[in-house]
Chains A and B, each alone.
Chain A
Amino acid sequence: MRSFWRRPKEHIERDLALFEELVERCQRQTYRVAYRLCGNHEDAQDLIQEALFEAYRNFGRFTPGTRFDRWLYRIMTNRHIDRIRRDGRLPTLSLDQGEEGNGGEAGWQVADAEADPAGQVLDEVLDERLENALGQLPPEYRQVVVLADIEELSYEEVARVVRCPVGTVRSRLHRGRALLRERLKHLFPAEGKP
Protein backbone atom coordinates (compact mmCIF):
# COMPACT_ATOMS: atom_id res chain seq x y z
CA MET A 1 0.00 0.00 0.00
CA ARG A 2 1.40 3.36 -0.99
CA SER A 3 1.84 5.78 1.87
CA PHE A 4 0.26 9.23 1.66
CA TRP A 5 3.13 10.85 3.50
CA ARG A 6 6.18 9.46 1.69
CA ARG A 7 9.22 11.75 1.98
CA PRO A 8 9.70 13.95 -1.05
CA LYS A 9 12.52 12.90 -3.34
CA GLU A 10 14.40 16.17 -2.87
CA HIS A 11 14.51 15.55 0.90
CA ILE A 12 15.96 12.10 0.31
CA GLU A 13 18.57 13.54 -2.07
CA ARG A 14 19.46 16.28 0.40
CA ASP A 15 19.94 13.79 3.25
CA LEU A 16 21.91 11.47 1.01
CA ALA A 17 24.21 14.28 -0.11
CA LEU A 18 24.81 15.32 3.49
CA PHE A 19 25.42 11.74 4.53
CA GLU A 20 27.88 11.16 1.70
CA GLU A 21 29.72 14.37 2.51
CA LEU A 22 30.14 13.29 6.14
CA VAL A 23 31.35 9.85 5.10
CA GLU A 24 33.78 11.30 2.57
CA ARG A 25 35.36 13.46 5.24
CA CYS A 26 36.27 10.43 7.32
CA GLN A 27 36.50 7.68 4.73
CA ARG A 28 40.25 7.25 5.04
CA GLN A 29 40.24 6.66 8.79
CA THR A 30 37.05 4.62 8.50
CA TYR A 31 38.76 2.26 6.12
CA ARG A 32 41.81 2.12 8.35
CA VAL A 33 39.73 1.17 11.39
CA ALA A 34 37.66 -1.36 9.44
CA TYR A 35 40.77 -2.96 8.04
CA ARG A 36 42.39 -3.26 11.45
CA LEU A 37 39.22 -4.66 12.99
CA CYS A 38 38.84 -7.28 10.26
CA GLY A 39 42.45 -7.95 9.38
CA ASN A 40 41.85 -8.16 5.63
CA HIS A 41 40.56 -5.99 2.81
CA GLU A 42 37.58 -8.11 1.74
CA ASP A 43 36.00 -8.21 5.19
CA ALA A 44 36.84 -4.56 5.79
CA GLN A 45 35.02 -3.55 2.62
CA ASP A 46 31.99 -5.66 3.49
CA LEU A 47 31.97 -4.23 7.00
CA ILE A 48 32.08 -0.65 5.71
CA GLN A 49 29.26 -1.29 3.27
CA GLU A 50 27.06 -2.85 5.94
CA ALA A 51 27.91 -0.12 8.42
CA LEU A 52 27.07 2.60 5.90
CA PHE A 53 23.68 1.05 5.17
CA GLU A 54 22.92 0.85 8.85
CA ALA A 55 24.21 4.37 9.45
CA TYR A 56 21.99 5.69 6.67
CA ARG A 57 18.95 3.89 8.09
CA ASN A 58 19.64 5.51 11.46
CA PHE A 59 20.86 8.86 10.15
CA GLY A 60 17.91 10.53 11.84
CA ARG A 61 19.40 9.56 15.19
CA PHE A 62 22.77 11.16 14.50
CA THR A 63 23.15 14.33 16.54
CA PRO A 64 24.44 17.19 14.36
CA GLY A 65 27.47 18.86 15.86
CA THR A 66 28.87 15.62 17.25
CA ARG A 67 31.65 13.58 15.66
CA PHE A 68 30.27 11.65 12.73
CA ASP A 69 33.36 9.43 12.53
CA ARG A 70 32.88 8.33 16.15
CA TRP A 71 29.24 7.56 15.45
CA LEU A 72 30.22 5.53 12.41
CA TYR A 73 32.91 3.69 14.40
CA ARG A 74 30.25 2.75 16.92
CA ILE A 75 28.05 1.24 14.22
CA MET A 76 31.05 -0.43 12.65
CA THR A 77 32.27 -2.01 15.89
CA ASN A 78 28.75 -3.32 16.59
CA ARG A 79 28.48 -4.75 13.11
CA HIS A 80 31.92 -6.25 13.45
CA ILE A 81 30.92 -8.13 16.62
CA ASP A 82 27.65 -9.21 14.95
CA ARG A 83 29.54 -10.54 11.95
CA ILE A 84 31.92 -12.51 14.12
CA ARG A 85 29.02 -14.01 16.08
CA ARG A 86 27.16 -14.80 12.88
CA ASP A 87 30.15 -16.38 11.15
CA GLY A 88 31.46 -18.04 14.30
CA ARG A 89 34.95 -16.83 13.51
CA LEU A 90 36.57 -16.04 16.80
CA PRO A 91 40.30 -15.55 16.64
CA THR A 92 42.24 -17.28 19.35
CA LEU A 93 45.29 -15.87 21.00
CA SER A 94 46.46 -17.18 24.31
CA LEU A 95 49.19 -15.98 26.54
CA ASP A 96 51.01 -19.26 25.96
CA GLN A 97 51.29 -18.74 22.25
CA GLY A 98 54.49 -17.38 20.81
CA GLU A 99 55.57 -16.01 17.49
CA GLU A 100 57.16 -18.77 15.51
CA GLY A 101 60.20 -18.53 13.34
CA ASN A 102 62.00 -15.47 14.56
CA GLY A 103 65.29 -14.85 16.21
CA GLY A 104 63.99 -12.52 18.88
CA GLU A 105 66.74 -10.00 18.35
CA ALA A 106 64.69 -7.00 17.29
CA GLY A 107 63.98 -4.03 19.53
CA TRP A 108 60.70 -2.38 20.46
CA GLN A 109 62.10 0.99 19.58
CA VAL A 110 61.04 2.59 16.36
CA ALA A 111 64.15 2.85 14.23
CA ASP A 112 65.20 6.07 12.54
CA ALA A 113 64.23 4.79 9.13
CA GLU A 114 65.76 7.63 7.12
CA ALA A 115 69.15 7.17 8.68
CA ASP A 116 69.08 3.41 8.62
CA PRO A 117 67.63 1.50 5.64
CA ALA A 118 68.06 -1.79 7.51
CA GLY A 119 66.05 -0.32 10.35
CA GLN A 120 63.35 0.62 7.87
CA VAL A 121 63.10 -2.96 6.66
CA LEU A 122 63.08 -4.19 10.23
CA ASP A 123 60.34 -1.73 11.11
CA GLU A 124 58.25 -2.98 8.23
CA VAL A 125 58.67 -6.56 9.41
CA LEU A 126 57.82 -5.62 12.98
CA ASP A 127 54.79 -3.63 11.87
CA GLU A 128 53.56 -6.60 9.90
CA ARG A 129 54.04 -8.95 12.83
CA LEU A 130 52.26 -6.49 15.08
CA GLU A 131 49.34 -6.22 12.67
CA ASN A 132 49.14 -10.00 12.45
CA ALA A 133 49.11 -10.30 16.24
CA LEU A 134 46.51 -7.53 16.41
CA GLY A 135 44.33 -9.46 13.99
CA GLN A 136 44.39 -12.45 16.30
CA LEU A 137 43.23 -10.60 19.40
CA PRO A 138 39.71 -11.33 20.61
CA PRO A 139 37.45 -8.70 19.00
CA GLU A 140 36.55 -6.81 22.15
CA TYR A 141 40.24 -6.29 22.95
CA ARG A 142 41.14 -5.56 19.36
CA GLN A 143 38.50 -2.84 19.15
CA VAL A 144 39.84 -0.89 22.10
CA VAL A 145 43.48 -1.34 21.07
CA VAL A 146 42.72 -0.14 17.54
CA LEU A 147 40.69 2.82 18.74
CA ALA A 148 42.80 3.88 21.72
CA ASP A 149 46.33 3.05 20.60
CA ILE A 150 46.27 3.30 16.82
CA GLU A 151 43.53 5.90 16.29
CA GLU A 152 44.45 7.64 19.54
CA LEU A 153 40.93 8.14 20.83
CA SER A 154 40.65 9.02 24.51
CA TYR A 155 39.33 6.42 26.95
CA GLU A 156 36.05 8.33 27.11
CA GLU A 157 35.67 8.37 23.33
CA VAL A 158 36.42 4.65 23.13
CA ALA A 159 33.87 4.03 25.88
CA ARG A 160 31.23 5.89 23.87
CA VAL A 161 32.11 4.00 20.69
CA VAL A 162 32.05 0.53 22.19
CA ARG A 163 29.32 1.44 24.70
CA CYS A 164 30.94 0.33 27.89
CA PRO A 165 32.24 2.08 31.02
CA VAL A 166 35.65 3.76 30.97
CA GLY A 167 36.89 1.21 33.52
CA THR A 168 36.05 -1.60 31.11
CA VAL A 169 37.92 0.18 28.33
CA ARG A 170 40.94 0.44 30.59
CA SER A 171 40.85 -3.22 31.55
CA ARG A 172 40.27 -4.38 27.95
CA LEU A 173 43.07 -2.16 26.76
CA HIS A 174 45.35 -3.56 29.40
CA ARG A 175 44.38 -7.13 28.57
CA GLY A 176 44.74 -6.53 24.83
CA ARG A 177 48.17 -5.00 25.26
CA ALA A 178 49.18 -7.83 27.58
CA LEU A 179 48.19 -10.38 24.92
CA LEU A 180 50.10 -8.50 22.25
CA ARG A 181 53.11 -8.13 24.50
CA GLU A 182 53.16 -11.80 25.37
CA ARG A 183 52.70 -12.74 21.76
CA LEU A 184 55.61 -10.61 20.63
CA LYS A 185 57.79 -10.26 23.69
CA HIS A 186 60.70 -12.27 22.39
CA LEU A 187 60.65 -10.12 19.29
CA PHE A 188 60.84 -6.99 21.36
CA PRO A 189 62.94 -7.25 24.50
CA ALA A 190 62.34 -4.26 26.76
CA GLU A 191 64.88 -1.51 26.49
CA GLY A 192 65.17 1.92 27.96
CA LYS A 193 62.97 3.72 30.47
CA PRO A 194 59.71 5.41 29.57
Chain B
Amino acid sequence: MKLPVPDEHLTAYVDGRLSPRGLRRVRAHLDRSPDADALVRHLVHLVARLRRLRHHRHPEPPPEFWPLCYARLRDFAHSYECAPKRHEQAADLLKCAGFVLLCAGALHLLTSRQVSGLWLLLAGVACYVVARLLHRGP
Protein backbone atom coordinates (compact mmCIF):
# COMPACT_ATOMS: atom_id res chain seq x y z
CA MET B 1 0.00 0.00 0.00
CA LYS B 2 1.37 3.38 -0.98
CA LEU B 3 1.39 5.80 1.88
CA PRO B 4 0.74 9.51 1.36
CA VAL B 5 3.64 10.37 3.65
CA PRO B 6 6.97 8.60 3.27
CA ASP B 7 7.68 5.86 5.79
CA GLU B 8 10.84 7.74 6.77
CA HIS B 9 8.64 10.48 8.18
CA LEU B 10 7.12 7.90 10.49
CA THR B 11 10.60 7.14 11.79
CA ALA B 12 11.16 10.85 12.28
CA TYR B 13 7.78 11.03 14.05
CA VAL B 14 8.80 8.26 16.46
CA ASP B 15 12.06 10.12 17.16
CA GLY B 16 10.27 13.46 17.62
CA ARG B 17 12.15 14.94 14.70
CA LEU B 18 9.29 16.42 12.71
CA SER B 19 8.44 20.06 12.20
CA PRO B 20 5.03 21.17 13.57
CA ARG B 21 3.67 21.02 10.01
CA GLY B 22 5.13 17.55 9.44
CA LEU B 23 3.76 16.43 12.79
CA ARG B 24 0.23 17.54 11.89
CA ARG B 25 0.53 15.80 8.53
CA VAL B 26 1.74 12.54 10.03
CA ARG B 27 -0.91 12.58 12.76
CA ALA B 28 -3.63 13.09 10.18
CA HIS B 29 -2.16 10.26 8.16
CA LEU B 30 -2.07 7.95 11.19
CA ASP B 31 -5.75 8.63 11.85
CA ARG B 32 -6.55 7.56 8.32
CA SER B 33 -4.18 4.64 7.87
CA PRO B 34 -4.27 1.64 10.23
CA ASP B 35 -1.17 0.24 8.47
CA ALA B 36 0.85 3.34 9.24
CA ASP B 37 -0.50 3.36 12.77
CA ALA B 38 0.62 -0.24 13.27
CA LEU B 39 4.01 0.58 11.79
CA VAL B 40 4.49 3.45 14.23
CA ARG B 41 3.54 1.23 17.16
CA HIS B 42 6.03 -1.36 16.02
CA LEU B 43 8.73 1.26 15.64
CA VAL B 44 8.08 2.70 19.10
CA HIS B 45 8.42 -0.70 20.68
CA LEU B 46 11.45 -1.58 18.62
CA VAL B 47 13.23 1.62 19.64
CA ALA B 48 12.32 1.00 23.28
CA ARG B 49 13.83 -2.47 23.06
CA LEU B 50 16.95 -1.19 21.36
CA ARG B 51 17.42 1.45 24.07
CA ARG B 52 16.96 -1.25 26.67
CA LEU B 53 19.96 -3.06 25.21
CA ARG B 54 22.21 -0.19 26.21
CA HIS B 55 21.15 -0.36 29.83
CA HIS B 56 20.61 -4.07 30.29
CA ARG B 57 23.26 -5.75 28.20
CA HIS B 58 26.81 -4.68 28.80
CA PRO B 59 29.26 -6.54 26.66
CA GLU B 60 32.48 -6.57 28.64
CA PRO B 61 35.91 -7.56 27.37
CA PRO B 62 38.06 -9.97 29.38
CA PRO B 63 39.82 -8.13 32.24
CA GLU B 64 43.20 -8.32 30.54
CA PHE B 65 41.96 -6.67 27.35
CA TRP B 66 42.37 -2.97 28.21
CA PRO B 67 45.79 -3.24 29.92
CA LEU B 68 47.00 -5.25 26.93
CA CYS B 69 45.44 -2.77 24.56
CA TYR B 70 47.23 0.16 26.24
CA ALA B 71 50.51 -1.74 26.29
CA ARG B 72 50.21 -2.40 22.54
CA LEU B 73 49.29 1.21 22.00
CA ARG B 74 52.43 2.35 23.84
CA ASP B 75 54.59 0.02 21.72
CA PHE B 76 52.90 1.23 18.61
CA ALA B 77 53.26 4.89 19.58
CA HIS B 78 56.99 4.57 20.23
CA SER B 79 57.68 2.64 17.05
CA TYR B 80 55.47 5.05 15.09
CA GLU B 81 57.22 8.11 16.49
CA CYS B 82 60.65 6.63 15.89
CA ALA B 83 59.94 5.42 12.37
CA PRO B 84 60.77 8.08 9.80
CA LYS B 85 57.70 9.36 8.05
CA ARG B 86 57.62 9.98 4.32
CA HIS B 87 57.65 13.74 4.58
CA GLU B 88 60.55 13.51 7.02
CA GLN B 89 62.48 11.25 4.66
CA ALA B 90 61.83 13.69 1.83
CA ALA B 91 62.95 16.55 4.08
CA ASP B 92 66.17 14.75 4.97
CA LEU B 93 66.93 14.15 1.29
CA LEU B 94 66.26 17.80 0.56
CA LYS B 95 68.62 18.81 3.35
CA CYS B 96 71.36 16.69 1.82
CA ALA B 97 70.69 18.21 -1.56
CA GLY B 98 70.74 21.68 0.01
CA PHE B 99 74.06 20.99 1.67
CA VAL B 100 75.59 19.81 -1.62
CA LEU B 101 74.22 22.86 -3.46
CA LEU B 102 75.53 25.25 -0.80
CA CYS B 103 78.99 23.69 -0.96
CA ALA B 104 78.99 23.70 -4.74
CA GLY B 105 77.77 27.30 -4.82
CA ALA B 106 80.38 28.46 -2.34
CA LEU B 107 83.15 26.65 -4.20
CA HIS B 108 81.96 28.04 -7.49
CA LEU B 109 81.89 31.59 -6.12
CA LEU B 110 85.35 31.29 -4.59
CA THR B 111 87.01 29.77 -7.64
CA SER B 112 85.32 31.32 -10.66
CA ARG B 113 83.53 34.31 -9.06
CA GLN B 114 80.58 33.86 -11.40
CA VAL B 115 76.91 34.70 -10.71
CA SER B 116 75.91 31.06 -11.25
CA GLY B 117 77.54 30.35 -7.87
CA LEU B 118 75.00 32.64 -6.25
CA TRP B 119 72.16 30.74 -7.90
CA LEU B 120 73.53 27.50 -6.52
CA LEU B 121 73.70 29.05 -3.05
CA LEU B 122 70.13 30.28 -3.37
CA ALA B 123 68.96 26.83 -4.52
CA GLY B 124 70.69 25.30 -1.49
CA VAL B 125 68.97 27.73 0.88
CA ALA B 126 65.61 27.01 -0.82
CA CYS B 127 66.15 23.29 -0.28
CA TYR B 128 66.79 23.92 3.42
CA VAL B 129 63.68 26.06 3.77
CA VAL B 130 61.47 23.48 2.05
CA ALA B 131 63.02 20.70 4.17
CA ARG B 132 62.28 22.71 7.29
CA LEU B 133 58.65 23.15 6.23
CA LEU B 134 58.32 19.47 5.38
CA HIS B 135 59.60 18.50 8.79
CA ARG B 136 56.68 20.26 10.41
CA GLY B 137 54.50 17.60 8.85
CA PRO B 138 51.46 17.63 6.59
- A residues sitting closer than 8 Å to B (CB atoms) are 1-7, 12, 15-16, 19-20, 23, 27-28, 31-32, 35-36, 41, 44-45, 48-49, 52-53, 56-57, 60, 107-110, 123, 126-127, 130-131, 134, 145, 148-152, 155, 170-171, 173-174, 177-178, 180-181, 184-185, 188, 190-194
Contacts and interface: CB of A to CB of B under 8 A. Distances in A.
Interface of B: 7-8, 10-12, 14-15, 17, 38-54, 56-62, 65-66, 69-70, 72-74, 76-78, 80-82, 84, 88-89, 91-93, 95, 135, 137
B41 A192 contact: yes
A190 B42 contact: yes
Contacts of B50: 130, 134, 145, 149-150, 180
B76 A174 contact: no
7 contacts: A20-B70, A36-B53, A53-B76, A108-B48, A110-B52, A188-B46, A194-B41
Contacts of A188: 42, 45-46, 49
B8 A170 contact: yes
A12 B46 contact: no
Given A48-B69, A188-B46, A190-B41, A150 B88 contact: no
A57 B58 CA distance: 29
B7 A31 contact: no
Most buried by B among A3, A12, A152: A3
B29 to A, nearest CB: 14
Contacts of A1: 84, 89, 92-93
A31 B60 contact: yes
Contact of A185 (B42, B48, B53, B65): B42
A190 B121 CA distance: 82
Given A49-B69, A56-B76, A108-B46, A191 B41 contact: yes
Contacts of A194: 14, 40-41, 44
B27 to A, nearest CB: 11
Nearest to A120: B56
B77 A174 contact: no
A31 to B, nearest CB: 6
B77 A152 contact: no
Contacts of B91: 3
The 8 closest A-B pairs by CB, nearest first: A108-B45, A149-B50, A35-B59, A174-B11, A194-B44, A190-B41, A174-B8, A1-B92
B69 A32 contact: no
Contact of B54 (A2, A20, A152, A181): A152
A45 B63 CA distance: 12
Nearest to B93: A1
B56 A127 contact: yes
B98 to A, nearest CB: 12
Contacts of B57: 127, 131
Given A12-B81, A35-B59, A110 B48 contact: yes
Contact of A181 (B43, B61, B72, B137): B43
Given A1-B84, A174-B8, A191-B41, A131 B49 contact: no
